Amino acid sequence: MEERELFEKYRETGDPALRNEIAEKYLYIAAVIAKKFVGRGVEYDDLYQVASLALVKGVERFDPSKGIKFSTYITPTITGEIKNHFRDRSRLVHLPRKVAELRTAIRKETERFSAEMGRTPTARDLALRLGVSEEEIVRSAEAGSTVSLDRPAREEDGGSFHELVASEEESEFERFENREELLSALEGLNDSERMLVRLRYGQELSQTETARRMNVSQMYISRLERKVLAKLKDTLKKGMA
């Protein structure tokens, strides 16, 4: 069946089997777009999950009579959902830890490689051995470059890194307060919601692995996670008001 014909039939009948058939036909678009966003601190599995859900929603909403192709319609929809997902949770939780882990791995692998080969490894050598991209190796090295603590860190007043680091240490109390607020917000969750937080944010497992351990589907985990995050945000906002 042609694209237009398929969507017209689905709009007429609302048959879930047909919706699934269409979604499966275009699932490759979700995979292609999810791959474009890898390397920003969220695992591919999670991105693919978000993209697939957006695809299903898009199939339900797409109107073939508007005269645009489904791929043109669905790409910005999936992209938007992925970007919302990034905004919701990714960077603050995952990236610093991943970068730190990669830097440790690079240091160890550099020592091992040098001992074995009698030369310092290139970014490509390390990328091949560690199973990451060359870009990640280079960026990770950039993130770890050393700077003088006395060099000016703030252009406006010439304040040094020494001063900046000291003032950041003073906010330790603030961090403690935030932690207390978060713990109290977690008390408002039920058992399965708390389990999800523990697996996803404590153990940093993927949605797939979390679903396996909780014996539910990935779709369920994705929906539950959105619900939990909204609930926590709401509770924390009320706490700050």
Partner 1 sequence: MKEITMRIPLKSEIMTTVRLTTGGVCSLAGLDIDRSEDCKVCVTESLLLLLHAGYREATIEFAAEDGLKISIAAAGERAEAELAPEDEISAALLGALAADVCTEKRGGTVCAVSFRFDS
Place of tokens 């607020």: 181
When binding is defined by CB under 8 A, the residue of 4, 40, 97, 237 that contacts partner 1 is 40
- Secondary structure element (H or E) that encloses residue 162, with its range: helix 161-170
Nearer to partner 1, 62 or 196 (CB): 62
Instruction: Supply the minimum distance, in Å, between the C-beta of residue 233 and partner 1.
Output: 19
Q: Which is nearer to partner 1, 83 or 175 (CB)?
A: 83
> Candidates 26-34, 147-155, 179-187, 227-235 — which segment interacts with partner 1 by CB under 8 A?
26-34
Q: The tokens of 91 are what? A: 């960077």
166 contributes a contact to partner 1 by CB under 8 A: no
How many other C-beta atoms can be found within 10 angstroms of the C-beta atom of residue 7?
A: 20
The mark string for 92-111 relative to partner 1 (x by CB under 8 A, - otherwise) is: --------------------
Answer for the pair 58, 77: CB distance below 8 angstroms, yes or no: yes
Amino acid at 42: V
Q: Is 122 in the site for partner 1 (CB under 8 A)?
A: no
Residue 83 interacts with partner 1 (CB under 8 A)? yes
CA distance 185 to 231: 9
Q: Which of 3, 11, 60, 75 binds partner 1 (CB under 8 A)?
A: 75
In the chain, helix, strand, coil percent, each to 5? 75, 0, 20
Contacts of 198 (CB under 8 A, 6+ apart): none
Asked if 4 is part of the footprint of partner 1 (rule: CB under 8 A), the reply reads no
Rounded Cα gap, residues 147 and 138, in angstroms: 17
Q: Based on CB atoms, which residue is closest to partner 1, 36 or 233? A: 36
Residues that bind partner 1 (CB under 8 A): 29, 32-33, 36-37, 40, 69, 71-72, 75-76, 79-80, 83, 86, 91, 133-135, 138-139
